[in-house]
Chain A
Amino acid sequence: MAKSSVKNESSVKNFLYLFIFMMLIWLALTSSLHWQELIVGCVVSIVITFFLNSNYQPLGLPSLNLIKIFYIFIYLIVLFIEIVKANFDVAYRVLHPKMPIKPGVVIIKTSLRQDIAKLILANSITLTPGTFTLDIKKDKLLIHWIYVRSENIEDSTKLIGARFEKYLGKIFS
């Protein structure tokens, strides 16, 4: 009995998350606060949420609170700085007449559990300097590195993944 009530509670929470998410996207899409748009947006969001809620649960959305939102902001800033660095990095390599590249494929480890966290980690790695994700299996990621600095797993993990995992681990705890 207790178990089912817990489940109910989490499903209600999930419903709300998805609904708010959909509503926010709808607001961005329409960019208008006219009452008709709001009503239709609510209806559409509820319908979609109703049908897809069960599909969304396995993704492991984090239960939000203020601290986590704060971390999300920090994470976004870190990511943004890394992306800017990445671009100058690639621009340098492309424009340099000798093309200073030393590509290779390495493996790194991650301690994240949830699917969506892994997705965000992989996407972040793809967007940051010199690396992108080739494949993923359980807690190992196969990484293509345009300028290999280290060949063993631990060092690579530290060089590539650690800076994101620090925040992601807090967000998805």
Chain B
Amino acid sequence: MKKFFSLILLIIIVVGMIYTIHQIPFGKNQSKIGKYFVANGKDETGAANIVTSVVVGYRSFDTLGEVTVLFLAAIGLGAILTTTKKQNHDIEKASLILNTGCRFLFPLVLLFSAYIFIHGHLSPGGGFQGGAVVASGFLLIYLACPGKRINKVGNTISESVGGLIFIILGAIGLFVGDRYFLANFLPKGELNTLFSAGIIPIIYIALGFKVGSELNSVIDKMMEES
């Protein structure tokens, strides 16, 4: 019975959406604000990657909210999992090959993540992707070497400081130049060089640290045993 009703509901949704889709032809549709960003984005923000200039420039307030959401997830996970029973069982150790391989790859992964979030304004990537790569590097170590854990204090500090840098940079914008929150007050530099686009690379580096340590603490809390 329940299946039947859900199927009917789904069919209604499909019909509605198909009807609406006819208004939005595929591949012909460049929206008004999209056009504006593509045409003016590189001059106004100095970033070669327009997606970055939208994420950290025009719509940076969204990004602030998004970082908050991630922060909340880490905190909420900790609050929920604090009182779980800890299980105790013997763990099969990782084989030597996996262990050595992961330890060999770990610096590489970190270097690569640094590349991703430093070059966020020039090539695809940025704080979130870089942070995710950092977290997966640490995940690799957790998986391959059971018992190794990250320094929690350092992790918390990098998490908080990353967020604070974002907000403080935003607040500086209130007092210089055009006087609005998250204004890009630093010089724009030359397009397609590393030191360009004003505050965007700085924010992305802060975000990389913050996202990396948040995802890291999420994984760490979920894997916590003993």
Contact = CB atoms under 8 A, between A and B. Distances in A.
B187 to A, nearest CB: 14
A155 interface: no
A25 B97 contact: no
Interface string B103-118: 1101110111011001
A119 B101 contact: yes
Contacts, number: 63
A36 B100 contact: no
A48 B97 contact: no
Interface residues of A, number: 29
A131 interface: no
Interface stretch (A37-45, A65-73, A75-83): A37-45
Contact of A34 (B103, B110, B118, B193): B193
28 contacts: A22-B111, A25-B108, A26-B115, A29-B112, A30-B119, A34-B193, A34-B194, A36-B193, A36-B195, A40-B118, A44-B111, A44-B114, A44-B115, A48-B107, A52-B106, A52-B107, A56-B107, A115-B96, A115-B100, A118-B96, A118-B97, A118-B100, A119-B96, A119-B97, A123-B97, A133-B97, A136-B96, A136-B97
Considering the complex of A and B, which 9 residue pairs feature the smallest CB-CB distances, nearest first?
Answer: A36-B194, A119-B100, A115-B100, A44-B114, A122-B97, A29-B115, A52-B107, A136-B96, A48-B110
